[in-house]
Amino acid sequence: MEQQSPDLDGVGVRHRATIAEIARAADVSRQTVSNVLNAPHRVREETRRRVEQVIADTGYRPLKSAQSLRTRRSNLLAVGFQSPGAEPSPVLDVFLHALSTSAQTLGYQILLLTAGSDGAEIQAYTEAVVDYAVDGIVLTGTHTHDERIDWLRRQRLPFVTFGRPWGALGGHSWVDVDGAAGTRAATEHLARAGHTRIAFLGWPAGSGSGDDRLQGWKQACGRAGLPTRGLLRRSANTIEDGRKTCAAVLDQPRPPTAIVCVSDALAVGAWLEMRDRGLVPGRDVALIGFDDSTTASVIGLSSVAQPLPAVADACLDALRGQLGSEGPSSGRWRQVLLQPELVLRESG
């Protein structure tokens, strides 16, 4: 194998320079090159000029004209994931496998980008566009005030989000699962079974999907004439938090007889807390989670299942709709809301 050439001479002829190469030639970090491209105001004038000079020397105009630079498809799709901490997300893992399998069938390969923050994810997308000329991007885990979506819209790149553009303008393609319909079905099922005090263990306000699932519980309680006051607890998405919030609702003067959870992580915590108290989930207190994880099926936890292979296929459809045109345009946007399924087991 040939050694990598330490300078940029001749690179422009056959290859486009990568961000890493530009960074090396300008003696700055990759983050700085990314900032020059994305947020030049954050970079000191002198540094910015040096980086821009290197970019000019390579005859290379990244990002602004990313699309016009392409003479053909790369058949590469980038998928961005954020894994806070070491905990993998079973939902995103199943989605990723489904996406990768379907993409390969269609002749696309998946570039997997992991990042610890929105800013780092934008940097990763920048590199994916500049270095690998990806044809499109799949963004996962949308949230309110999502700067990643703003960034993607500005680049005019084909992209789709797994998750609605919570609160933002919906001027792009997205695929999502109707979480509110899932928690509504769970709550209605419990109300039909005779429960009159149904609690909800949710996430802190501001997460789009968490707020959506909370609404489903509220709507179902409202329609059935059931109270919600004092029956909502919010926490981070860990098993330990599920234990604590379950304990909190069970310890109040008028405890609920049923609990709906925004996730299986919280529901599994609630299940453990009940077991420690000698309560049998489903007999003493009903319990329904969200995501239909392997653990849920093993411990007999009822849960709301997301149709992840269908989400993956709809994401690919949405991207291909944009790729087939002269560029992304509103006529090509697809916005798909899929229905989840309530899977009943011993607990509810």
Q: Which residues bind a copy of itself (CB under 8 A)?
A: 1-5, 11, 14-15, 18, 20-21, 30, 67-68, 70-73, 75-76, 81, 83, 86, 88, 90, 93-94, 96-98, 100-101, 104, 107, 109-115, 124, 127-128, 131-132, 158, 239, 268, 271-272, 293-295, 298-299, 309, 323, 325-327
* CB-CB neighbours of 234 under 10 Å: 17
Q: Name the β-bridge partners of 202.
A: 234
Nearest approach in angstroms of CB 9 to a copy of itself is: 11
User: CB of residue 335 vs a copy of itself: minimum separation in angstroms?
Assistant: 21
C-beta of 170 vs 327, nearer to a copy of itself: 327
Q: Are 7 and 25 in contact (CB under 8 A)?
A: yes
Nearer to a copy of itself, 14 or 229 (CB): 14
Nearer to a copy of itself, 123 or 207 (CB): 123
Judged by beta carbon, residue 125 or residue 203, the one nearer a copy of itself is 125
Least distance to a copy of itself from the beta carbon of 171, Å?
A: 18
> Hey, is 343 helix, strand or coil?
strand
Q: Nearest approach, Cβ of 257 to a copy of itself (angstroms)?
A: 23
Q: Tell the smallest beta-carbon distance from residue 129 to a copy of itself (Å).
A: 12
Total count of residues recorded for the chain: 348
Q: What's the rounded Cα separation, in Å, for the pair 187 and 183?
A: 6
Tell me which DSSP letter residue 211 carries. H
136 or 179: whose CB is closer to a copy of itself? 136
Q: Smallest distance, Å, CB 33 to a copy of itself?
A: 12
Min CB(83)–a copy of itself separation in Å = 5
Which residue number, 22 or 168, has a Cβ lying nearer to a copy of itself? Answer: 22
Cβ proximity to a copy of itself: between 101 and 252 the closer is: 101
Concatenating the DSSP letter of every residue in 272-292 gives HHHHHTT--BTTTBEEEEES-
Q: 190 is written with which tokens?
A: 């419990």
For every residue of 17-83, DSSP letters joined together read: PPHHHHHHHHTS-HHHHHHHHH-GGGS-HHHHHHHHHHHHHTT--TTTTHHHH-SS---EEEEEEE-
Report the alpha-carbon angle 177-221-267, nearest 5: 55
Secondary structure percentages of the chain, helix, strand, coil, to 5 = 45, 15, 35
